[in-house]
């Protein structure tokens, strides 16, 4: 008899255990759905790199990572805007290179071969020309998508090739040197309170874009257009005009990143930013932006960019070859999309 | 419990049970979609599943069709336990399903779709000619007039529906699931389907049939099982069931009358189409108008062009001839934006495709069309506080459930989604509302709410245009109705002249 009851109790306990286990699994799944894989990846990476290479967590290196993440972060924000409208911008990297070449050409020609021109004029004109190049490139993309109705993938793939070709043609592939020293110093190397200037610039962009996405009508319309373009049109939203603005913004952000990178490397480089199209999409998707449009939070994208910058930095520190890094980034993009799909599936059934 | 139900279900000797579900529960993360439901289908029986959207009908048929596995309980086919993990396994056991979402490949031909996955070879090559011939025979035999060589994406929705049914009937099913199969069929096509259902019954196929339409229940149903909130409510004989008692079972409350008596006092003409001919549409030389304080119907068969008419009223179609007038003034360059600015609101026929921003929240969906209005702004900037307050008010007024403003709209039932579409329009306080099929995929309970909203808008002085394939809706709701036939207005009926016979007389060719 006592034996019997003990077995029953044990059975009940096992049953309760199984129930609890299932509850825990469900909670874990639910957590994954709400927060995504990014925080887990981020923590894992910090621990792993920190253990292998203590310098990874040194203050200097952390500032370094911050600086590196700003360039990608800025273009990823532009990419995110486009992704939210269910589009793509594959020309981001090409626009970065174009901006770099255009700005450097203008600056060095204003300054003159002997450096006698006004540095201030050179910087103002160079920055203006670089931004204009990005805006025009973005407008061309926007025209193709919003007015001609061509798929964003094709339009930006085409402009990407055109722009890259133009930048190489202009420079013959060689870097353009002779930039004003102040430009290189202030944007490239200066620090304010021990933090690189680019980090402040990026922070301002993030804050402004947060307000735009969450507090403005324009931001709301982007989500609506990506979620359902017909419904948006029937609600009186000017879809074409908003799409135009989105592609111009994406081009502008690419131009800003291009200017900052030019200052950092100290020359106009036609090969700058070649990996940005892939990396910006990876950062956005890791940050929870849906490739089907209509969904995505700015905070996630910022962390996505930070994550990729950390990964590159860590792999460099422990001397992973650039070939392997390329393989790792590609795998990461596919993984991020697979997880995104799984999350969507679970969310649909909930 | 199960025995008692079967005994109470009829006096005649119980026919052989083909499919039996016993104590089936289905849990999804966070919700129980189906709780301890028992259900059976006999050979040669049409068993109707009835319930509001979200009651668990879809989950139940998806369990039978092998899309999901039950969390608890068992499924038996011909007395043998079944464990289905994929729809393919279910098909191999003779359980075929026709869902509202078609399983056709749009770029392939009708014949290729019917034989998809079971292609026939001649030698080592596809026997395309042979399959086309057989597909032709199959379709002919079923009474469907569809060209087996046509690409599926070139077919109308009702033709696609027929191909889907033809495909499901291949491989001699024992159980056939039909999920609102007549939703896109004309009356005549539906008759062909009903004849087919009768024939399948005669061959001993057990049919699980989901519908909201009372006429169909009486026409082909044998037994009706009612579900509510994922639980089993009752199984009744179709012959004994009347609409009010079924709706009562479904909603758990008494329904006195579905259609309200709407007071009318027609005022000035608000919206008019005058001699309108549309591009890429049968509509030619059509004149209709809507005055303040009346409900005007537009009836017609699928393909008559009545839907195009609704779209034209909202500036979605370019006019080849004629004019669109608002309050007596011609609108040139009409677009949805200009029509909204003129005080017209349009409710699209397919809310998932044209109406809802599915990944976004209830709040964002409701406020979408009026964010430029002063109510949502504070000092020219969009105000989240105002938005919350305004949306909260209309959600409470329309009793949208659950009233969680930040829940994605795709997780709401069809009825609540439709209410959200009405809420979106009401925030604009429109002078004219154009409703294109306002109750498709809306369960009876929510339908009453939709009609009450139409009543309220009309009695507050708005002009309402109801374009509908649901004839009772036209007859019971409208003060006046146009019957459209092959692109022209065949009749305008009003008051006592608006009868079922009068409308039907103008539906078909002479």
What pLDDT score does B244 carry? Answer: 77
Which ranges of B98-226 would DSSP assign to H, the alpha helix?
110-114, 128-142, 157-168, 187-202, 214-220
Q: Cα separation of B36 and A131, whole Å? A: 64
pLDDT digits (tens, 9 = 90+) for A183-216: 988 888 888 898 899 999 999 999 999 999 998 9
In Å, how far are A131, A174, A250, A279 from A168, measured between CA atoms? 19, 8, 22, 22
Packing angle of the helix pair A298-317, A38-52 (nearest 10 deg): 20
- Confidence bin at A2 (pLDDT 50/70/90): very low
Is residue B388 less than 8 Å (CB to CB) from chain A? no
10 Å CB burial of residue A3 (0-12, 13-18, 19+) is exposed
CB-defined contacts A:B, below 8 A: 89
Interface touch B364/A26, C-beta < 8 Å: no
Distance to chain A for B311, nearest Cα, Å = 10
What pLDDT score does B135 carry? Answer: 92
Q: What is the mean pLDDT of residues A118-132?
A: 94
SS3 for B484?
strand
Interface touch B357/A233, C-beta < 8 Å: no
Do A119 and A182 contact (CB within 8 A), yes or no? yes
Q: Range with the lowest mean pLDDT among A66-70, A241-245, B163-167?
A: B163-167
| DSSP conformation letters of A51-86 | HH-GGGGSHHHHHHHHHHHHHHHHHHHHHHHHHHTT
What pLDDT score does B183 carry? Answer: 72
Is residue A34 less than 8 Å (CB to CB) from chain B? no
C-alpha closest to that of B456 among B446, B444, B464: B464
What pLDDT score does B461 carry? Answer: 94
Token pair for B491: 């009749």
Interface touch A294/B364, C-beta < 8 Å: no
Is residue B359 less than 8 Å (CB to CB) from chain A? yes
Q: Cα separation of B310 and B306, whole Å? A: 7
Q: Cα separation of B164 and B181, whole Å? A: 10
Q: Cα separation of B362 and B390, whole Å? A: 13
Q: How many CA atoms lie within 13 A of B160 on its CB side?
A: 19
Q: Cα separation of A325 and A15, whole Å? A: 47
Token pair for A142: 């926007």
- Confidence bin at A277 (pLDDT 50/70/90): very high
Q: Cα separation of B41 and B16, whole Å? A: 9
Cβ neighbours of A290 in B, within 8 Å: 359
Question: In chain B, which residue's Cα lies nearest the Cα of A221?
Answer: B368
What pLDDT score does B9 carry? Answer: 42
Q: How many CA atoms lie within 13 A of B478 on its CB side?
A: 30
Q: Which DSSP letter does residue A117 get?
A: S
Is residue B422 less than 8 Å (CB to CB) from chain A? no
Cβ neighbours of B427 in A, within 8 Å: none
What pLDDT score does B7 carry? Answer: 41
Q: Cα separation of A125 and A120, whole Å? A: 8
Positions in chain B short of pLDDT 70: 1-15, 29-31, 53-54, 253-256, 509-510
H or E stretch at A257: helix A239-265
Give which of A228, A347, A348 to mutate to test B binding, by max B Cβ within 10 Å: A228
Distance to chain B for A344, nearest Cα, Å = 10
Is residue A290 less than 8 Å (CB to CB) from chain B? yes
Cβ neighbours of A15 in B, within 8 Å: none
Interface touch A230/B353, C-beta < 8 Å: yes
Q: Which CATH superfamily is domain B17-254 in?
A: P-loop containing nucleotide triphosphate hydrolases (3.40.50.300)
What pLDDT score does B5 carry? Answer: 41
Interface touch B353/A233, C-beta < 8 Å: no
Interface touch A231/B368, C-beta < 8 Å: yes
Q: Which DSSP letter does residue B216 get?
A: H
Question: Has residue A265 got a pLDDT over 60?
Answer: yes
Cβ neighbours of B360 in A, within 8 Å: 223-224, 227, 294
Q: Which long-range contacts (CB under 8 A, 24 or more apart) does B400-407 make?
A: B400/B362, B404/B362, B405/B361, B405/B362, B405/B363, B406/B361, B406/B362, B406/B363, B407/B361, B407/B362
C-alpha closest to that of B350 among B275, B262, B430, B421: B421
Is residue B360 less than 8 Å (CB to CB) from chain A? yes
Is residue A109 less than 8 Å (CB to CB) from chain B? no
Nearest beta carbon to residue A350 from set B31, B358, B364:
B31
Do B24 and B73 contact (CB within 8 A), yes or no? yes
Cβ neighbours of A294 in B, within 8 Å: 357-360
Question: In chain B, which residue's Cα lies nearest the Cα of A214?
Answer: B384
Give which of B26, B69, B368, B381 to mutate to test A binding, by max A Cβ within 10 Å: B368
In Å, how far are A22, A38, A219 from A33, measured between CA atoms? 16, 11, 24
Is residue B89 less than 8 Å (CB to CB) from chain A? no
User: Which residue reads 């490949």 in tokens?
Assistant: B105
Is residue A205 less than 8 Å (CB to CB) from chain B? no
Instruction: Find residue B82's DSSP bridge partners.
Output: B75
Cβ neighbours of B310 in A, within 8 Å: none
SS3 for A93?
helix
Q: Cα separation of B230 and B36, whole Å? A: 9
Interface touch B356/A234, C-beta < 8 Å: no
Nearest beta carbon to residue A217 from set B28, B337, B371:
B371
User: In this structure, how many other beta carbons lie within 10 angstroms of the beta carbon of residue B207?
Assistant: 22
Cα Rg, chain A, nearest whole Å: 24
Do B299 and B500 contact (CB within 8 A), yes or no? no
Nearest beta carbon to residue B340 from set A236, A290, A346:
A236
What pLDDT score does B106 carry? Answer: 86
Cβ neighbours of A33 in B, within 8 Å: 29
Is residue A86 less than 8 Å (CB to CB) from chain B? no
Question: In chain A, which residue's Cα lies nearest the Cα of B424?
Answer: A235
Q: Cα separation of A325 and A313, whole Å? A: 10
Interface touch B424/A294, C-beta < 8 Å: no
Cβ neighbours of B62 in A, within 8 Å: none
Cβ neighbours of A241 in B, within 8 Å: none
Nearest beta carbon to residue A234 from set B31, B336, B358:
B336
Interface touch A235/B28, C-beta < 8 Å: no
Pick the CATH number of B268-508 from 3.40.50.261, 3.60.15.10, 3.40.50.300, 3.40.630.10: 3.40.50.300
Instruction: Find residue B464's DSSP bridge partners.
Output: B295, B433
What pLDDT score does A8 carry? Answer: 55
> Going by DSSP bridges, is the β-strand pair B295-300/B480-485 parallel, antiparallel, or unpaired?
parallel
Cβ neighbours of A349 in B, within 8 Å: 28-29
C-alpha closest to that of B167 among B184, B201, B133, B142: B142
Is residue A295 less than 8 Å (CB to CB) from chain B? yes
Interface touch A224/B336, C-beta < 8 Å: no
**Comma-separated ranges of CATH 3.40.50.300 domains in chain B:** 17-254, 268-508
Cβ neighbours of A229 in B, within 8 Å: none
Is residue A232 less than 8 Å (CB to CB) from chain B? yes
Do B493 and B480 contact (CB within 8 A), yes or no? yes
Please calculate the CA angle B56-B58-B61 and round it to the nearest 5 degrees. Answer: 110
Nearest beta carbon to residue A216 from set B30, B348, B382:
B382
Q: Range with the lowest mean pLDDT among A69-83, A111-125, B239-253, B423-437?
A: B239-253
C-alpha closest to that of A177 among A112, A266, A283: A266
Cα Rg, chain B, nearest whole Å: 24
C-alpha closest to that of A181 among A132, A129, A108, A113: A108
Cβ neighbours of B314 in A, within 8 Å: 234
Q: What is the largest CA-CA distance in chain A?
A: 104
Spatial neighbors of A206 by CB under 8 A, at least 6 apart, are: A73, A77, A298, A302
User: In this structure, how many other beta carbons lie within 10 angstroms of the beta carbon of residue B263?
Assistant: 10
Interface touch A223/B411, C-beta < 8 Å: no
């Amino acid at each position: 008899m006592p034996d019997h009851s003990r077995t029953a109790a044990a059975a009940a306990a096992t049953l309760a255990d199984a129930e609890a286990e299932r509850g825990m699994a469900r909670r874990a799944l639910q957590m994954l759905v709400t927060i995504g894989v990014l925080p887990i990846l981020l923590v894992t990476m910090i621990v792993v790199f920190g253990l292998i290479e203590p310098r990874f967590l040194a203050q200097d290196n952390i500032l370094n990572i911050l600086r590196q993440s700003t360039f990608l972060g800025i273009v990823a924000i532009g990419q995110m805007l486009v992704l939210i409208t269910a589009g793509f911008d594959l020309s981001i990297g090409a626009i970065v290179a174009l901006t770099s070449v255009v700005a450097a050409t203008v600056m060095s020609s204003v300054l003159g071969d002997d450096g006698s021109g006004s540095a201030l004029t050179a910087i103002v004109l160079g920055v203006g020309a670089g931004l204009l190049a990005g805006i025009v490139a973005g407008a061309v993309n926007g025209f193709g998508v919003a007015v001609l109705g061509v798929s964003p993938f094709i339009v930006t793939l085409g402009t990407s090739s055109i722009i890259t070709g133009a930048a190489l043609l202009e420079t013959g592939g060689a870097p353009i040197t002779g930039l004003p020293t102040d430009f290189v110093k202030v944007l490239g190397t200066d620090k304010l309170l021990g933090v690189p200037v680019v980090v402040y610039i990026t922070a301002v962009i993030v804050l402004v874009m947060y307000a735009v996405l969450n507090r403005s009508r324009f931001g709301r319309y982007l989500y609506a257009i990506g979620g359902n373009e017909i419904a948006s049109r029937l609600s009186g939203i000017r879809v074409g005009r908003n799409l135009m603005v989105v592609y111009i913004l994406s081009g502008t952000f690419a131009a800003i990143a291009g200017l900052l990178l030019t200052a950092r490397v100290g020359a106009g480089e036609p090969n700058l930013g070649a990996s940005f199209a892939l990396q910006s999409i990876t950062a956005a998707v890791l940050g929870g932006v849906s490739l089907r449009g209509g969904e995505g939070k700015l905070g996630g994208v910022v962390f996505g960019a930070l994550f990729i910058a950390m990964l590159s930095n860590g792999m460099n520190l422990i001397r992973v070859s650039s070939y392997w890094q390329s393989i790792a980034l590609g795998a990461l993009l596919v993984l991020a999309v697979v997880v995104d799909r799984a999350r969507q599936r679970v969310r649909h059934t909930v | 419990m199960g025995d008692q139900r079967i005994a109470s279900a009829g006096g005649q000797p119980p026919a052989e049970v083909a499919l039996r579900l016993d104590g089936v529960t289905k849990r999804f993360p966070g919700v129980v979609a189906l709780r301890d439901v028992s259900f059976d289908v006999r050979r040669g029986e049409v068993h109707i599943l009835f319930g509001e959207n979200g009651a668990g009908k879809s989950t139940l048929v998806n369990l039978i069709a092998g899309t999901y596995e039950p969390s608890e309980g068992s499924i038996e086919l011909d007395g043998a336990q079944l464990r289905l993990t994929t729809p393919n396994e279910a098909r191999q056991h003779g359980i075929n399903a026709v869902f509202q979402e078609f399983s056709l490949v749009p770029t392939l031909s009708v014949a290729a779709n019917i034989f998809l996955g079971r292609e026939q070879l001649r030698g080592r090559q596809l026997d395309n000619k042979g399959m086309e011939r057989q597909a032709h025979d199959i379709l002919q035999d079923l009474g469907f007039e569809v060209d087996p060589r046509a690409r599926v994406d070139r077919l109308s929705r009702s033709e696609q529906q027929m191909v889907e049914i033809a495909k499901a009937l291949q491989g001699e099913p024992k159980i056939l699931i039909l999920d609102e199969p007549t939703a896109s069929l004309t009356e005549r096509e539906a008759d062909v389907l009903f004849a087919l259902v009768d024939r399948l019954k005669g061959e001993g196929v057990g049919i699980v049939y989901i519908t909201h339409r009372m006429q169909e229940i009486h026409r082909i149903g044998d037994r009706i099982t009612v579900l509510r909130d994922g639980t089993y409510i009752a199984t009744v004989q179709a012959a004994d069931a009347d609409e009010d008692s079924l709706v009562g079972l479904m909603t758990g409350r008494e329904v006195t009358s579905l259609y309200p008596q709407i007071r009318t006092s027609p005022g000035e003409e608000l919206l008019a189409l005058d001699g309108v001919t549309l591009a890429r549409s049968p509509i030619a030389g059509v004149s209709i108008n809507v005055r303040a304080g009346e409900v005007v119907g537009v009836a017609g068969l699928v393909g008559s062009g009545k839907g195009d008419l609704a779209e034209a009223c909202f500036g979605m179609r370019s006019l080849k001839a004629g004019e669109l007038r608002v309050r007596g003034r011609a609108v040139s360059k009409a677009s949805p934006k200009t029509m909204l600015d003129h005080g017209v609101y349009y409710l699209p026929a397919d809310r998932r495709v044209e109406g809802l921003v599915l990944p976004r929240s209830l709040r964002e969906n409701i406020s979408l069309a009026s964010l430029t209005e002063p109510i949502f702004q504070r000092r020219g900037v969009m105000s989240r506080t105002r938005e919350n307050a305004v949306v909260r008010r209309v959600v409470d007024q329309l009793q949208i459930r659950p009233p969680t403003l930040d829940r994605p709209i795709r997780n709401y039932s069809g009825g609540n989604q439709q209410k959200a579409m009405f809420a979106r329009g009401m925030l604009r306080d429109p002078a004219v509302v154009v409703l294109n099929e306002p109750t498709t995929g809306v369960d009876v309970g929510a339908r009453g709410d939709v009609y009450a909203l139409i009543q309220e808008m009309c009695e507050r002085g708005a002009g309402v245009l109801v374009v509908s394939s649901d004839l009772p809706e036209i007859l019971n709701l409208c003060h006046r109705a146009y019957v459209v036939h092959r692109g022209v207005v065949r009749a305008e009926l009003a008051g006592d002249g608006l009868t079922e016979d009068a409308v039907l007389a103008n539906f078909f060719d002479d």
